[in-house]
Amino acid sequence: MTPPARQSARSVASLFVTCVVDQFYPEVGESTVRLLRRLGVELDFPESQTCCGQPAFNSGFRSDAIPAARRFLETFKDSPQIVVPSGSCAAMIRVYYRELFQDDFETARLAIEVGKKTFELSEFIVDQLGVTDLDAALPDRTQGQGQRVAYHPGCHLKRELDVVSQPLRLMDSLPEIELVPFEQADVCCGFGGTFSVKYPEISGAMLGDKVAAVRDSGAGTLAACDATCLMQIGGGLERQSVPVRTAHLAQILDEATS
């Protein structure tokens, strides 16, 4: 198999890989890097990066979230652009850092500056690189096998970042992918970080509805832009022996364009 020719650099960015990807789904980070490099992005990975502070912030421990957030800002303040393969982590940085540092003017100002150059993966590809048709952007690629894909839009991605069409446009641009609609696709999967731990009965009921809808869709793959959503839904699918695999958008696009 001959890989597509790598394009000359069209953009420079830093990758924030997120805790969940780093600890549980490193293959998502690898797919993100391969995909962006094919699109001509000169990508770097600041090794001093850690958590963005979202778990502590969402649990109400703001004093514990502040050191992690400060470290993120210090690590990425000089990056021209920051790409995040997660809608929830990108929302934490772009939306909630302002709230976290509302009583610290200087840090709040830095948080706003860093937030303006932080983008979720699909948002970065479509809105920053200007790529909406991956089939045209990588004309020399080797075409993969077809797959029926259902897409779950994560809550933070849609409601906090207003990223709705970008993932769909990228997948729909590839002839190997058939997007499959399913009932209540935009309803929360029930994970919500610590929500699933604090309210397991409610979370479980929400997950049950999501699994049933995915099962009835006829899709062979469920895609999402957040590994945490895939962890939640994938666990439900496995427990109910539903033969639908879960894959991050980066993996779907990486596979289809390799």
Q: How many domains are there within the chain? A: 2
Distance between CA atoms of 91 and 18, rounded to whole angstroms? Answer: 12
Query: Are both 101 and 165 inside the same structural domain?
Result: no
Q: What is the CATH number of the domain that holds 145?
A: 3.40.50.10700
| pLDDT at 7 (0 to 100) | 45
Query: Are both 187 and 162 inside the same structural domain?
Result: yes
Taking the alpha carbons at both ends of the chain, their separation in whole angstroms is 9
Tens digit of each residue's pLDDT, the chain (258 residues): 333 334 445 799 999 999 999 999 999 999 999 999 999 999 999 999 999 999 999 999 999 999 999 999 999 999 999 999 999 999 999 999 999 999 999 999 999 999 999 999 999 999 999 999 999 888 777 676 779 999 999 999 999 999 999 999 999 999 999 999 999 899 999 887 778 778 889 989 999 999 999 999 999 999 999 999 999 999 999 999 999 999 999 999 999 888
- In-domain check, residue 150: yes
DSSP-assigned beta bridge partners for residue 152? 224
Answer for the pair 21, 52: CB distance below 8 angstroms, yes or no.
Answer: no
Query: Are both 139 and 249 inside the same structural domain?
Result: yes
The pTM score is 0.92
**Chain centroid, CA 105 distance in Å:** 30
- In-domain check, residue 4: no
Q: Which amino acid is at 111?
A: A
Query: Are both 115 and 197 inside the same structural domain?
Result: no
| pLDDT at 2 (0 to 100) | 33
Q: Which two tokens stand for residue 105?
A: 């003017």
| pLDDT at 195 (0 to 100) | 80
Query: Are both 120 and 144 inside the same structural domain?
Result: no
Query: Are both 163 and 104 inside the same structural domain?
Result: no
Phi, psi of 186, rounded to the nearest 5 degrees: -90, 10
Identify the domain boundary among 126, 142, 162: 126
Q: Which domain holds residue 23?
A: 11-126
| pLDDT at 192 (0 to 100) | 79
Identify the domain boundary among 93, 126, 159: 126
Query: Are both 17 and 114 inside the same structural domain?
Result: yes
Q: Give 40's Cβ-side CA count (13 Å radius).
A: 13
Query: Are both 232 and 184 inside the same structural domain?
Result: yes
